[in-house]
Structure 1
Amino acid sequence: MLHTASLLHDDVIDASPLRRGAPSAPSKFGSKLSVLGGNFILGRASTALARLGDAEVTQLIASVISNLVEGEILQMRDKTYLKTASLMAKGARSAVVLGGCEEGEVWKDIAYAYGRNVGIAFQLIDDILDYESTSTPGSADLTLGKPGGADLQLGLATGPALYAWEEFPEMGELIGRKFEGPGDVEMARSLVHRSSGVHRTKLLAKEFAEKAKEVLDELPESVAKRGLVALTERVVGRRS
C-alpha cells in the first residue's frame, strides 16, 4: 500500500504519462485526484498498521513513510536511493518482527541488510532501463512501460551518466545545468551509450545483489531462502 501510494505521488511529480505501459493515474484522472488517492491509501495503510499492535513495526513503517517523502524531496535535486532501499529494508525487517523474532536475535538485522541491498540493486537496474529504452526521450516505451529518458528529462544524473562523465568530461557541463539546454538530453544519452556507463552500473547492481545473497548465507536452507535468492536474481535480470 505504501509503495502504491508513493507511485501515485511519483507520477504527479514526474508528470509521467505512463505506468507499466498503461496510462498513469494523473493522465487519466488528473493530479488532484491522484494526490488525494495516494493520501487515502497512506491513511488506510496507517489504519492497518495500527491494528497490528506492534510498537517496533509501527516505528519502522512510520519511518518508511518519512523516508519516502524525504526521498521525493531530495530527488527533486539529486537522484537518491533512500526511498527504495528504505521501503525494502524496513519492510523486510518488519516481516521478521511480525514472524515472532525475539529481541537480540540476528534475523532482524539479516532481513534489513538483505532488503537494503536488494533495494539499491533494484534502483540501479531501474536507472539502466531508462537508457536502454528504444523510444525517443519523453515518448512512451511500451516494453519499459514508461517514457524513455525520464531521469534526464527531470535533470537527474544517475549511475550511467556519472560513469560516462569519467570518460567524457563534457558530460559534466550537461549535469551542471541539469540537461536543460537545447539538445542536452539527446547528447547525454549519446555519451552514455558511447561509454561503459550502463555496463558499469549493471556490475554495481550485481555487486549489491551478491551482497544480498551473501547475507542470506546465514539463514538455514529452506524453500523461503531459495525464494529470496531467486527474487534477487530476478531483480538484476528484469527488463521492465
Structure 2
Amino acid sequence: MGVAVDLQDAGASANPGPEKSGHESALHALADYLADDMLACNKAIVARMDSPVPLIPQLGAHLVAAGGKRLRPLLTLASARLCGYEPGPDAQRHVGLAACVEFIHTATLLHDDVVDESTLRRGLASANAVFGNKASVLVGDFLFARSFQLMTDDGSLKVMAILSNASATIAEGEVLQMATQNDLSTPIDRYLDVIHGKTAALFAAACRVGAVVAGRPEADELALETFGTNLGMAFQLVDDALDYAADQQTLGKTVGDDMREGKITLPVLAAFHAAKTEEERAFWSRVIESGEQTEADLPRALDLIAQTGAIEITLARAATYAEMAVAALASFPDSEIKRLLVETASYTVSRAR
C-alpha cells in the first residue's frame, strides 16, 4: 500500500516556501541549490514510509503533507557537497543518510508531541491530535526502526556510530528536559545541556556524516560537527524565543506552549532572574513551578519577558552560536555551497527578528 501523497507534493515540501527577502531567502536558496538531491531524498522518505499496515502510510502522508523546512537532511546533503562529494547513479549515499536523519527527527517529533500533549505541528493539527497518542508513538517507533535500516543499508560502521550516538543523545536530552521541567532553579548551563541533547546533537550528526560519505579527513568531519552543533544550539534558542515572541501562524504551534508545559527555557530564566519585585518572582513561581495558570497569565508573562529584555538576551546568545558555526567552516575553501551554509546560519537567528 502506498503513501497517500504523490512524489511531486513530497518534493515540494522540501522547499521552505515562496522566496522572501533578507536572510530568510538563504534557506530557500539552499533548498534550490540541492533541489535534485532533495527530490531524491523525499522519494526515499516516501518509499520507506510505505507499509502493508495501512495506518503507517496514512500517518506518514499526514507528516509529509505538513511540510517543514527539511533543514536536517539539507545539512547532510550540503555537507557532502561542501566536501566534494559528487552524486551519481552509484553515488547516492548522501541521499539515503539524509532520509535517515529526517526519520530520526520525525520520530522524535511524534514522541515529543505525545509527551507535550501538543495539538499543532507546523501550523496543522499534530499527528497525535488526528490519529491519537498510541498511533503516534508506534509510528514513531517504526520510523526509528526505518532509520536504522537505512544506516545498515549504508554499510558504514562509522556512520552508524555517529547517528546511533546522536539518537541516544536526543533521548537523553528529552529526559533531561523532563527532569528540569517546572524547576526555576535550573542553571543556564543545564538548560544548554538540554538543547544540545534534544536539538544540536542531530544537527551535528547530520553534518558530520556528509564528510564521512565524501571520505574526508577526521579534521573536516569534526569541523562540520562543530558547525552543526553550534547551528543547532542557535536554532533551538531562537525556537525558545519564538514561543514568547511570535504569532501562532508564524510559529506553527500554539504560542505559549512552553509556559503551559512548565518548560524551562532561556527567556523564562532570564525574566525570572531579572525580576525586580517579589510579585514578579511569585508570578513565575506560580505559573512555572506550581503550574497554576489562568488565561491572563500568558499576556502577563509576555509583558514581563518584554520588560526584562529576555528575548534580546536569548537572541544574543543564539547569534554567538551562529557566529561560532560560521567560524567552524573557515578551513573549507570558498564556494557557493559554503556561502549558502554561512547564510543559513544567519537565517537561523534572523527568523526571530
Q: TM-score, normalised by structure 1?
A: 0.90
- For structure 1, the 5+ residue unaligned runs are 135-140
1:9 to 105, 108, 111: 111
Separation in 2 of the partners of 1:182 and 1:13? 19
Q: Which residue of 2 aligns with 1:137?
A: none
- 1:172 is displaced (CA, Å) by 4.7
- Which of structure 1's runs of 4+ aligned residues deviate more than 4 A? 169-173
Who wins on radius of gyration, i.e. which is larger?
2
Partner of 1:62: 164
Match of 1:222 in 2: 335
**In structure 1, distance between residues paired with 2:339 and 2:121:** 30
Within the candidate set 159, 163, 173, 2:270 is matched to 163
Cross-structure match for 1:22: 124
1:152·1:179 contact (CA, 8 Å) conserved in 2?
no
1:208 CA displacement = 0.4
Equivalent of 1:122, from 216, 235, 253? 235
Question: 1:44 is matched with which residue?
Answer: 146
Alignment deviations for residues 209-230 of structure 1 (CA, whole Å, 9 cap, x no partner): 0111111112111122112101
After superposition, the C-alpha distances for 1:20-79 in whole angstroms (9 at most, x for unaligned) are 111100000000000111111111110010011111110111111111211111111325
Distance 1:189 1:178 in 2: 17
Match of 1:91 among 193, 206, 209: 206
Code of the residue aligned with 1:231 in structure 2: it is T
In 2, distance between residues paired with 1:120 and 1:152?
A: 20
TM-score for both structures, normalised by structure 2: 0.62
SS state at 1:178 partner: helix
Counterpart of 1:4 in structure 2: which amino acid? Answer: T
**Offset of residue 185 of structure 1:** 4.5
Alignment of 1:128-143 (within 5 A): 128-134=241-247, 141-143=248-250
- Does the Cα contact within 8 Å between 2:107 and 2:140 map onto a contact in 1? yes
Displacement of 1:175: 4.5
1:111 and 1:143 map into 2 onto residues whose CA distance is 30
Matches of 2:262 and 2:285 in 1, distance apart? 8
User: Identity of counterpart residues, as a percentage?
Assistant: 36
Indicate the SS of the match to 2:251. Answer: coil
The question of whether the paired residues in 2 share the 8 Å contact of 1:155 and 1:175 is answered with no
**Which position in structure 1 is the counterpart of 2:292?**
181
Cα-to-partner distance string for 1:123-154 (whole Å, 9 max, x where unaligned) = 000011000134xxxxxx22211011111111
**Deviation, structure 1 residue 182:** 3.7
Contact 2:241 2:352 in 1 (8 A): no
